[in-house]
Amino acid sequence: MRILFITDPLETFKTYKDSTYAMMAEAAARGHELYWCLQPQLALSGRTVETVATRLHLTGEDGAGHGDWYREGNSALEPLSAFDAVLMRKDPPFDMEYVTSTWLLELAEAQGARVFNKPRAIRDHSEKLAIAQYPEFITPTLVTRDLARIRDFHAEHRDIIVKPLDGMGGMGVFRVGADGMNLAAIVETLGQDGARSLMVQRYIPAIKDGDKRVLLIGGVPVPYSLARVPMAGEVRGNLAAGGTGRAQELSRRDREIAEALAPGLWGQGLLLVGLDVIGDYLTEINVTSPTCFQEITQQTGFHVAAMFIDALEHAVSAAGS
């Protein structure tokens, strides 16, 4: 297969932990041809969605983010339909440029491109708000701009989390305890004085045991999660916020949630999904660029990237039949 990866700049990759790199390495080991481009290189010319795609060769070296893990071949302007698979692996923010990219990728699909995850499904899924489709699995939750309603929610639950709807890596996540200290200031700042909606949830004490990333690949749960355990004095388990990753087998509740959500998400064209679970509660459904492949593989020996490329090959074959 010819596989096109839409990514962040390659020199920013930390190959020892990057999930996109793990996908690339597994695909290359199977003899697939790798190409890459940046999101800004996507373009519509006349009726054709195209990009400047660069041939990518992996050196087998541990680049540690310094660029020596790859070498580039020729670059050429090609339609996205010329590739067997297009993988959207650009990290958030999910801004208007990202939305525009999903529109372009959807047009490319109409021209024969096979895009994973499906661009419409990415666009239609707010990674925070999508949990509302599964109320049986979530902690008490409020989404609003209204400070008075947030005060009432706090008065009822006493210990809450306040976060923006478009954050990533734990950015902008605040805990407000029983004393309500700084609640108004936090809401005014995050919500830009009522201009932006916020998500407010009852605090889940089980965060001390980690914010678990449960991966779904091709509608099947990976048998291990990565529990991202907060550092001392933190409520955010995100690795980007200093959390420590600990791989572990799925709990009975993890598997219940994963198996309930997996068929519907896969049916929408979401080849790879990262569920976030704290204790017994679903907190996010990540569909843009889910990670944690390498940490799970390194700690358990379960080859997540191999499972992913298996699913990709099957999806491409099924689409072509």
The set of catalytic residues is: 128, 163, 213, 228, 236, 276, 284, 286
Cα first-last separation, the chain: 15
Cα separations in angstroms, 231 against 89, 122, 134, 235, 236? 28, 31, 29, 8, 8
DSSP bridge partners of 57? 71
Please report the beta strands in 179-269, taking only residues with DSSP state E, as ranges in sequence order. 198-202, 211-217, 220-229, 244-249
Q: What angle do CA 11, 31, 67 make, to 5 degrees?
A: 10
DSSP bridge partners of 227? 212, 246
Whether the ω angle into residue 117 lies within 30 degrees of 0, i.e. cis, is: yes
Distance CA 186, CA 174 (A): 8
Which amino acid is it at 140? Answer: P
The CB density around residue 111, as the number of other CB atoms within 10 Å, is 13
Residues in the chain: 321
